[in-house]
A = this chain, B = another copy of it.
């Protein structure tokens, strides 16, 4: 099912070189420094319930594509919020998925799923309406086996470190359970404080109260609020965290004076803030987070640029994360200036910025990362976590920012079984890119071999302090 030379360059000599570079990195341990797997899986180590709940129901890449061609989400096991009926029979969901699998032709999702079916589960046949039942049976029997439990798969996947993404208010009990267990897998949290930073978040006010409670700080005052962040970050650090993550609507930062920031905070928590005030508050908080990173050493990530819950109708019916988050044009040059002007040359800050607007790579992010010591460019993300997206990423960042202002690969996934597949795609595309550079006289063979290891393993490990 899988072409052993997949994703390598077409030209045969270059392909041969790509393959030899790839062979040197294919089996390196996986560093997964940013993602959304559920720590409960590894805490409880229960078997995954059924193939549909592993491959279809939690994967927005998959169900959004089927929905776009008329398959109702209910039929794919997505629960409506109002309690209406939805499909719960895994086999029926799986059959529907298999019938429509042709819609995913030439998408990264198909490549990941084929890889997981083949390499993780030993499936030999292509998934289709005809093979659906047999494959379902096979997967089900695998899932019943202890060797397919989360910890076993984690070990088998060769994951060295996996970071989850956790709300600031998350009690991190699963992480504690894992740490207290006799299992050696390294699973660490990431401090994601959006819900206690974004005044537009639902329950912002309640969240602040909760943050006050958990930290023992008075989060109704600016000083107390900042102190609460500092304390909570310390707790995350104690639990293994090495990074924060910020999912703002855009990358705007601000650098207000202390009094001005305090007045803004007071206005916002009083509920008197306008949309512009809320935007400014988020902007200011990015700079405050940078300040704290300078102090406590947490690597800072910004993931901006999605217009969340584009369809109000679908959000009302099914809730968030149903495939209706849509990118929009992004801007970094002006947006990051306040933060970078303050901390961009501080060796204590490490800031990793992602984008959903590829036009910003060559135009803004590579020029910025190519000069500011603090700034690094995150890998191709989300809709761009794909062979073409990765190729464009390298072609538009390397010439200005080089390799060493990038941070390796992030799988950023909720789909646990896709982790090896995703890293494999990145390693193949990168080795193909390096081979092309060598064959066009832009990189020596020896340098390519060294860079290949850095892109697959070293850069992520160093950038995230793992």
Contact = CB atoms under 8 A, between A and B. Distances in A.
B442 A6 contact: yes
Interface residues of A, number: 90
Contacts of A401: 68
Contacts of A68: 369-373, 375, 401, 405
Interface in A5-24: 5-14
Interface stretch (A78-86, A98-106, A141-149, A177-185): A98-106
Contacts of A310: 333, 337, 340-341, 368
Interface in A377-407: 383-384, 386-389, 395-396, 398-405
A442 B5 CA distance: 10
A324 B310 CA distance: 35
Which of the listed residues A2, A364, A370 has the most CB atoms from chain B within 10 Å of its own CB?
A370
Nearest to A372: B68
A173 interface: no
Contact of A383 (B324, B333, B362, B384): B362
A440 interface: yes
Given A105-B447, A331-B329, A400-B383, A373 B67 contact: yes
B6 A10 contact: no
Interface stretch (A36-44, A291-299, A311-319): A311-319
A108 B362 CA distance: 14
A290 to B, nearest CB: 14
A376 to B, nearest CB: 9
Interface in A28-50: none
A311 B345 contact: yes
A131 interface: no
A359 interface: yes
B67 A371 contact: yes
A85 B337 CA distance: 28
A111 interface: yes
B366 A383 contact: yes
User: How many identical subunits does the complex contain?
Assistant: 3
Contacts of A341: 310-313
Given A329-B331, A399-B386, A371 B10 contact: no
A367 interface: yes
A395 B402 contact: no
A118 to B, nearest CB: 12
A344 interface: yes
A131 B33 CA distance: 37
A323 B68 CA distance: 37
A88 to B, nearest CB: 22
A367 B326 contact: yes
Interface string A96-132: 0000001111111001000000000000001000000
B3 A441 contact: yes
A443 interface: yes
30 contacts: A7-B440, A7-B442, A8-B440, A10-B13, A10-B14, A68-B371, A69-B373, A104-B402, A105-B403, A106-B402, A106-B443, A107-B400, A108-B399, A310-B337, A310-B340, A312-B341, A323-B371, A324-B371, A326-B364, A327-B364, A327-B367, A329-B359, A329-B363, A357-B359, A357-B363, A358-B363, A359-B363, A362-B383, A362-B389, A388-B399
Given A2-B441, A68-B401, A358-B359, 16 more contacts: A3-B440, A7-B441, A10-B11, A10-B13, A67-B373, A103-B402, A106-B399, A106-B443, A307-B334, A311-B372, A312-B341, A324-B371, A326-B364, A328-B331, A362-B384, A386-B400
Interface of A: 2-3, 5-14, 64-65, 67-70, 102-108, 111, 126, 307, 310-314, 323-324, 326-329, 331, 333-334, 337, 340-341, 344-345, 347, 356-359, 362-364, 366-373, 375, 383-384, 386-389, 395-396, 398-405, 436-437, 439-444, 447, 451
